[in-house]
Amino acid sequence: MSKKILANDGIDNIGKAILEKAGFIVVTEKVSQENLIQEINEKGYVALTVRSATKVRKDIIDACSNLKVIGRGGVGMDNIDVEYAREKGINVINTPAASSNSVAELVFAHLFNALRFLYDSNRKMPLIGDTKFDELKKKYSKGIELRGKTIGIIGFGRIGQTVAKLALGLGMKVVAYDPFINESSIEIDIDGLDKKITLKIITTSLDQLIKNSDFITCHVPGGSIITKKEIEQMKDGVILINTSRGGVINEKDLLDGLDSGKIAQACLDVFESEPIPADFILKHQNISLTPHIGAATIEAQERIGVELAEKIIAALN
């Protein structure tokens, strides 16, 4: 059997080294989507790893009989026809735990960014900071603290639970919704004291979460979760965060909510028309934006690479 692996969206050097030590040849040169079938067949790759950029649909699965493993570096596998691949005898793996902390930290990076208007002041200060300093100081003088506020977490898997840990550490109230989880024990480490505190969180209904949250963050694999109907039930001045999948928050309904003042601000790392986000989203003055970087930390990429490598070795050996 060939021992060649195509890491089409890249893999961390440590993960690559683990695979090479196990005797595999790992190629990280990017192959375009339209040339993927030909490349896999000509080079005899037995495993293909992807992130969110490369799509692995039925055409690839049917045409590439050599493939034994498809690996997704990350959590969501909506860019892979998972069940179809498994029906064809291909092992499909992902790395659900590796990026939890990095995504959760980005949620709070966005929240701090929004609540203290950093996204806007960083645009304005280089332009008029030297001539209208006092005007800008007044404009950004109504910041909001996180402590004591309620964060609603839609999707209470690994990432959602990590968001809860950070929120509790900041003195926030946490409400969570997940159709598959009724309750979860959140374990909080206290650095330096070698102690852990365990708190039980019982999930609530989506309606209750939407009505009672000051901030709402989404951590689901896809679907349309927040539309005009849900926005109308929210608190006035709510802030919405999406670091999961584009389309979870309907962008046109989000725009209407922002323009009416119902939604104070939005924080988006993912977009409906990614990788070309809608112009009205990119230019809105009350949206904090990042280009799908939830898992893009050095530590997370290393964890993803290691977990991916170990699972591929186990699957192929």
Catalytic residue among 51, 110, 158, 292: 292
Long-range contacts of 280-288 (CB under 8 A, 24+ apart): 280/251, 280/255, 281/251, 281/254, 281/255, 284/255, 284/258, 285/120, 286/258, 287/119, 287/258, 288/110, 288/113, 288/114, 288/119
The reply to whether omega before 221 is within 30° of 0 (cis) is no
Q: Is 292 a residue of the active site? A: yes
Q: Is 245 a residue of the active site? A: yes
Per-position b or e across 190-225, b if 16+ CB within 10 A of its CB: eeeeeeeeeeebebbebeebbeebbbbbbbbeeeeb
Please give the angle made by the CA atoms of 62, 68 and 71, to the nearest 5 degrees. Answer: 100
CA atoms of 105 and 268, how far apart (whole Å): 14
Catalytic residue among 274, 284, 302, 310: 274
Tell me which H or E stretch contains 173. Answer: strand 173-177
Catalytic residue among 72, 158, 245, 303: 245
Q: Is 307 a residue of the active site? A: no
Q: Catalytic residue positions?
A: 245, 274, 292
